[in-house]
């Protein structure tokens, strides 16, 4: 009950209490520059995060995925405070896909399989048909599965990192410039996949940091401006 009350106070302006953060404060790197932001995300929707370079957009995503401490403020998923979850459970719900894709030793197949070795994902199914469909949508050939992940191009590695998150079916995707390394056609493919992903199931949302205007793809998206 206490959690409910906090949720309403913290995010009372939210259209729905799906995911929201209220007056969260965080430091930029080791400097004393501090950012304070509030925003909310409706189920099935996108929150676009904009702001000048160095304003703290990537840091916000790190804070929301609990890779960096917040100084103050509250974050809620369905009215439950972020700190009520263990970091592992929180990160299985809220996935961060960094700007520089993480590439692990081994093939692309090994890279996609890697998160399933974590206890939190053991009950999840690694489904090759789903992967094949997603690779198609991302304009990648299924043969890429056997390629050494260290040899992927920047744009390929970005799409594989996104796919690795998507197949685990989190509730919230925190995406940092997911199309920055892509040409226009591949960019549209990624945005199409994200649109489909949002529509496939309820209980999903995306927070998207992007320097390009994605509001035509996601016309109902809320926008959070940082550092203006």
Ligand X SMILES: Nc1ncnc2c1ncn2[C@@H]1O[C@H](COP(=O)(O)OP(=O)(O)OP(=O)(O)O)[C@@H](O)[C@H]1O
Q: Which residues bind ligand X (CB under 6 A)?
A: 28-30, 51, 53-59
DSSP 22-80: EEEEEE-TTSS-EEEEEEEE-TT-EEEEE--TTSSHHHHHHHHTTSS--SEEEEEETTE
Which is nearer to ligand X, 14 or 207 (by Cβ)? 207
| Shortest distance, position 227 Cβ to ligand X, whole Å | 7
Q: Report the distance separating Cα 122 and Cα 92, nearest Å.
A: 12
Which is nearer to ligand X, 59 or 179 (by Cβ)? 59
| Shortest distance, position 99 Cβ to ligand X, whole Å | 6
| Shortest distance, position 59 Cβ to ligand X, whole Å | 3
Which is nearer to ligand X, 17 or 177 (by Cβ)? 177
Which is nearer to ligand X, 185 or 228 (by Cβ)? 228
DSSP 111-142: HHHGGGGSGGGTTS---HHHHHHHHHHTT--G
- The answer to whether residues 164 and 96 touch, using CB atoms and an 8 Å cutoff, is no
Which is nearer to ligand X, 54 or 105 (by Cβ)? 54
| Shortest distance, position 225 Cβ to ligand X, whole Å | 11
Which is nearer to ligand X, 57 or 93 (by Cβ)? 57
| Shortest distance, position 184 Cβ to ligand X, whole Å | 20
| Shortest distance, position 21 Cβ to ligand X, whole Å | 15
Cα 205 from chain centroid (whole Å): 8
What tokens does 179 get?
């199309």
Nearest position to ligand X, beta carbon: 29
CA distances from 2 to 9, 82, 145, 167, 201 (A): 11, 14, 48, 34, 29
């Amino acid at each position: 009950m206490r959690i409910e009350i906090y949720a309403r106070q913290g995010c009372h302006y939210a259209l729905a209490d799906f995911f929201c953060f209220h007056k969260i404060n965080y430091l930029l790197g080791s400097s004393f520059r501090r950012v304070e932001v509030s925003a909310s995300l409706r189920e099935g929707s996108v929150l676009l995060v904009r702001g000048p370079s160095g304003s703290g957009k990537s840091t916000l995503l790190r804070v929301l995925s609990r890779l960096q401490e917040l100084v103050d403020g509250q974050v809620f998923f369905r009215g439950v405070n972020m700190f009520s979850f263990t970091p592992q459970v929180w990160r299985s719900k809220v996935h961060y896909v960094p700007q520089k894709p993480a590439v692990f030793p081994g093939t692309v197949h090994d890279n996609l399989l890697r998160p399933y070795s974590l206890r939190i994902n053991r009950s999840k199914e690694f489904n090759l048909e789903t992967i094949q469909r997603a690779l198609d949508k991302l304009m990648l050939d299924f043969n890429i599965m056997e390629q050494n992940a260290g040899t992927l191009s920047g744009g390929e590695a970005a799409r594989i990192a996104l796919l690795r998150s998507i197949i685990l079916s989190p509730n919230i995707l925190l995406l940092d410039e997911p199309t920055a390394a892509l040409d226009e056609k591949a960019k549209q493919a990624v945005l199409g996949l994200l649109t489909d992903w949002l529509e496939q199931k309820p209980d999903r949302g995306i927070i998207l940091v992007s320097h390009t205007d994605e509001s035509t793809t996601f016309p109902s998206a809320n926008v959070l401006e940082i550092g203006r």
